[in-house]
Amino acid sequence: MSSNVWSSLITIQSMLEKQFQRTGTETKEENMDRFNRDGWVNRTWTSNLYRRAHIDVVDAREQKGLWMMHCCVFPHLHSNTPIFGLDMIAGKRKITGFFHDYSPTTETNHPMINVFNSMVSDYNWKKERTLPDWAKAIFTDSMVASGNVSEGIELNALIELSSTSIDLYLQNVGLYHNNTSESEAIAAQNRYAHFQKQNPHTPRTMKALGLDERDVDFFVQKCLFPEI
């Protein structure tokens, strides 16, 4: 079973994987092997540019008619650069959720965040919405939140944004060194992970896709958003 929507998002997945293969070294994290199986893929990388890059894909197209991906890149603990986050979920004919942000760590007015704000400000498909408290605690006002996107101009715009945004992030994240203390960086990155774990939609969606409830709970707490 295939669709242009799914094919487009799998193209984004492949593009991200190639970027991390190009810039980093793939790692084998503790406990992650159990979450690599038919229909569920998890890959992580590290490099001199970033501390941890992670791609998580649940492919339930055949069983549930859904496909979802989470991608997150954390900077090194000596850097005040933001966290790259991209989440997508789609049925056969439309993207039901697309969320993307450069989320601050120890510097809320970081130059990379300002560039991201400018990059997404003119996208007329961006959906304004009231964020829950857990999201307000970590995301910027320019976070891209889009849904009900089918084939055409909006889908092409999301593909272009994903490619441009990861290029921008990887070109700049390694330029900022020794501009924050490790303790402050750990606190900021753990804060991001803590509030991400308050998102009820992530485990709910994964369980709805047919994944074991206990596996999902452990995965979200220890592998999807591990604290330092």
In order of their start, the domains of the chain are 4-224 (3.40.1500.20)
Averaged confidence pLDDT in the chain = 92
Amino acid occupying residue 205: T
Residue 67: strand pairing partners: 59, 90
Amino acid occupying residue 113: I
Residue 129: the pLDDT is: 57
Residue 1: pLDDT band with limits 50, 70, 90? very low
Q: Can you list the positions of beta strands (E) in 130-189? A: 144-146
CB 135 within 8 A of CB 199: yes
Residue 103: the pLDDT is: 98
DSSP class of residue 200 equals: S
Tell me how far apart the alpha carbons of residues 177 and 75 are, in angstroms, rounded to a whole number.
10
Q: Is residue 91 helix, strand or coil?
A: coil
Q: Does the reported pTM lie above 0.85?
A: yes
Tell me how far apart the alpha carbons of residues 13 and 40 are, in angstroms, rounded to a whole number.
13
In the chain, DSSP finds a helix count (H) and a strand count (E) of 8, 7
Residue 124: the pLDDT is: 57
pLDDT of 88 strictly over 90: yes
Residue 126: the pLDDT is: 53
DSSP class of residue 37 equals: B
To the nearest whole percent, how much of the chain has pLDDT over 70? 95
